[in-house]
Amino acid sequence: MNAPQPVTTTTDIRLMNATASLLFGLVLLGALISAAWWFTRLPQFSLKGIQVSGHATHTTPFALRSQVLPRLTGNFFSIRLEEARDVFEQQPWVRQAVVSRVFPNQLAVRLEEHEEVAYWGDDEEGMRLLNRQGEVFDGNPEEVANIELPRLSGPDEQSASVLLMYRRLGPLFNPLEARITALDLDPRGYWSLSLNNDTVINLGSGNEQELAARIRQFVQTIGAVTARYGRSFADLQYADLRYKTGYALRLKGVGTLESPDGNAGKGQPTKPKT
């Protein structure tokens, strides 16, 4: 008796065709992936240069290429732009960087540099710089174009507040034709400043309005007070404005004077300190 012959149905044929098509597609996809992997790693796509734009006076394209390119990983296709941006922004004078690809083997970066407005800190701790946004950065102080920048200091986290205080208090000394050359905030919250005639002024603690009120009183009366001792504002070495209604001061050739009852602040003669 003859054995029954297997019957191939239309469904079986479709299943075999679908399986063959799937296997062919997988093989083709693998080949495409391998070709793409090989293509994107051709030497032609290794990063060769950086195109720099933006206003940069302290960061030259040559310096960027020599300092940044060796630290970048990947090629045109594989480099992570966020990581590249971080490398650019680690350069001392770079505040912000926007990075993009330029086919086939370059990067374009648009830079925003820090614009220095003050020195920050002191020589003991290491002088740094402060930008116009009140941010401390590690630019080289010797590269500063304007050597007459003021020196500000205080806790780093309060750098913006110190810069704002400098901008608010500075104009108050205009009637004396003096300018602030240094402003310091110590960890206890006490303020002091120096003027361009080497006068040191202790402002004490307080908010902007309180400090401004003390300075206005001082500016309005210091001319009359120094005149009574045959001196001028140029002879003032030190002033302590922590009194509520007056101030103590030290004049060249006179010594320290004080007004515990506020007389100096009211334009009355001060008394020698005993």
118-142 pLDDT, tens per residue? 999 987 878 999 999 999 999 999 9
Q: How far apart are CA 178 and CA 208, in angstroms?
A: 19
Q: What is the pLDDT of residue 87?
A: 96
Estimate the crossing angle of helix 159-169 against helix 208-227, to 10 degrees: 40
Domains of the chain: 43-113 (3.10.20.310), 116-272 (3.40.50.11690)
Are residues 99 and 133 in contact, defined by beta-carbon separation less than 8 angstroms? no
Residue 40's pLDDT is 52
Tens-digit pLDDT profile for residues 73-102? 889 888 999 999 999 999 999 999 999 999
| CA 64/CA 56 separation, integer angstroms | 11
For residues 27 and 31, what is the distance between their CA atoms, to the nearest angstrom?
6
All residue ranges of the chain with pLDDT < 70 are 1-9, 12, 24, 28, 31-43, 255-274
Threshold 0.85, pTM exceeds:
no
Rounded CA separation 105/51 (Å):
11
Angle at 51 between CA 64 and CA 87, to 5 degrees: 40
Alpha helices in 117-259, H assignment, sequence order: 159-169, 208-227
